[in-house]
Structure 1
Amino acid sequence: MSHPRPDLVPDPDLSRAEMETLQREIASVAVFEDDFAFDPDAFSNPLESAATGTEPPVVAGVDQSFLTNEDGDQDRALSAVVAMQGGEVIERIHAVTPLEIPYIPGLLSFREGGPILAALEALSVDPDLFLFDGNGRIHFREAGIATHMGVVRDVPSIGVAKSLLCGTPQEDIDELPAGSRVPIEANSRVDAPDGTRIGYAVQTRQYDSPNRYINPLYVSSGHRVGPETAADVAHDLTSSYKLPEPVRLADQYADEAKKSSSR
């Protein structure tokens, strides 16, 4: 896979101010609306694709794990990618690369973006859509890792995060029933006009017990996918677990590959 925007590849040697400037440039060219060739309904109606003889879209989940050195410090990133088509895994790849900077809130792509791009170089299939374990437009400068990677590759992408980085939910998000979604709008922490819809809290699963509940996922446009479609796809790709299957399996594969890489 090539980089249509090599000028926007994350450079960990930039200063913090330069990184933030680059993120604003990425956000300015990102497309936060639907601009793709696949049929998103194929994720909710896979049997229909089979009945019509249409090839279902290929969707790839991307997740990260980390390896430590003898001192117990994280010094390498393991980037895992799982590609699925019609609910079946068709390829799994990973890459291990050095970590060059520490974790800095809001600048995750400069720590993990290079390792992810290295893993994507090894991918033989050409996914129609990428789901990243991380944010897209729900980000201080509207350029989370899903947006950054999506723009660099110019591929449709979605961010799926487990916690809310910024923005304001428009309704109470505690103990939502499964299938619910609540709009997330920009606030003063986001480089967008107040009230801009930057994503959704999506309740993919929920316990039946009144004494236990599952928190929602925070789903946002990465690139070339609108917020409503992103929420739909994240929900439709979820089965028995909270996370969409491509991301869940990438997380599982990252742990599996980490064990073999640590030997």
Structure 2
Amino acid sequence: MVDPAEARRIQVRLCTAVSLMDDFGVLRQVAGVDVGFEEGGAITRAAVVVLQWPSLVLVEQILARRPTQFPYVPGLLSFRELPAVLDAFERLSRYPDLVFCDGQGVAHPRGLGIAAHLGVLTGLPCIGVGKSRLVGTHAEVANERGASTPLYLGDARIGCVLRSRKGVRPLFISPGHRVSQETAPRLVMQALTRFRLPEPIRAAHRLASAPAIARAAARMSGR
């Protein structure tokens, strides 16, 4: 197991392999990835849900668990979460054509959020969909569905801030691998239904949260 200092060095090295050019073919199946934890963080629980594109009909879903082996360190969450995510990907019947990750792509202090890290390790086109800002600055985004504004780290564009629904907090979209800055938000918009989050991530979140929800319901029923 690597320590945080070595993990940062790995990020600096791997970020050079990230491609921000559109490099994917026809999209037939896309995946959503979300990660949760059990037993106070001792167990990592990774959900990968595959949907048809563009119908967003469920094709396959995998839930993988493994002991958590890396501490919680801001900016290094992929080292904590990816081992279980990779376990889930190994159990898929086939790899998807593109992956939406709950987290950052290149909008990261060292350019390697979980979507970029997963993309480099698997070779898959990936997009990061963050619910909050990790780094960068941006102008105000209009309160209209589909409105966006660039996200910058210094002079470098690292993503965009996207209003997925009117009246809700915006999302922070950044390419992970093999997807361009322009295409990433467009695909996120195509993956939206009537909710704030794109459907592949919503589906993965439901699966990742299901055990916790079931335990909470059981506790409530016992009162």
Decide: shared fold, TM above 0.5. yes
Q: CA offset at residue 155 of structure 1?
A: 0.6
* Residue 219 (1) aligns with residue 219 (2): no
2:206 to 248, 252, 256: 252
Q: Which residue of 2 aligns with 1:200?
A: 160
Q: CA offset at residue 258 of structure 1?
A: 4.3
Q: CA offset at residue 82 of structure 1?
A: 0.7
2:36 to 65, 78, 85: 65
SS of 1:14's equivalent in the other structure is coil
Q: Which residue of 1 aligns with 2:66?
A: 97
SS of 1:256's equivalent in the other structure is helix
Q: Which residue of 1 aligns with 2:11?
A: 23
Gap change, CA 1:137 and 1:150, over 3 Å in 2: same
Checking the alignment, whether the CA contact within 8 Å between 1:131 and 1:160 is kept in structure 2 is yes
2:23 aligned partner, one-letter code? D
> Hey, what's the Cα distance between the residues in 1 that align with 2:3 and 2:66?
21
Superposition RMSD in Å: 1.6
Q: Which residue of 2 aligns with 1:127?
A: 96
Q: Which runs of 5+ in 1 are unaligned?
A: 1-12, 39-55, 188-194, 207-212
Q: Which residue of 2 aligns with 1:35?
A: 23
1:172 aligned partner, one-letter code? E
SS of 2:107's equivalent in the other structure is coil
Spell out the pairing of 1:136-151 with structure 2 (5 A cutoff).
136-151=105-120
1:234 to 176, 188, 202: 188
Q: CA offset at residue 177 of structure 1?
A: 1.2
Q: CA offset at residue 261 of structure 1?
A: 8.5
> Hey, what's the Cα distance between the residues in 2 that align with 1:215 and 1:82?
24
> Hey, what's the Cα distance between the residues in 2 that align with 1:260 and 1:24?
40
2:153 aligned partner, one-letter code? A
SS of 1:243's equivalent in the other structure is coil
* Residue 83 (1) aligns with residue 54 (2): no
> Hey, what's the Cα distance between the residues in 2 that align with 1:20 and 1:248?
30
Spell out the pairing of 1:45-64 with structure 2 (5 A cutoff).
57-64=28-35
> Hey, what's the Cα distance between the residues in 2 that align with 1:204 and 1:90?
24
1:153 to 101, 112, 122: 122
1:110 to 73, 79, 89: 79
1:34 aligned partner, one-letter code? D
Gap change, CA 1:261 and 1:82, over 3 Å in 2: farther
Q: Which residue of 1 aligns with 2:221?
A: none
Checking the alignment, whether the CA contact within 8 Å between 1:94 and 1:257 is kept in structure 2 is no
Q: Which residue of 2 aligns with 1:190?
A: none
SS of 1:227's equivalent in the other structure is coil
Q: CA offset at residue 125 of structure 1?
A: 2.4
SS of 1:240's equivalent in the other structure is coil
Checking the alignment, whether the CA contact within 8 Å between 2:89 and 2:95 is kept in structure 1 is no
Q: Provide the TM-score with structure 2 as the length reference.
A: 0.92
> Hey, what's the Cα distance between the residues in 1 that align with 2:34 and 2:119?
14
Checking the alignment, whether the CA contact within 8 Å between 1:139 and 1:165 is kept in structure 2 is yes
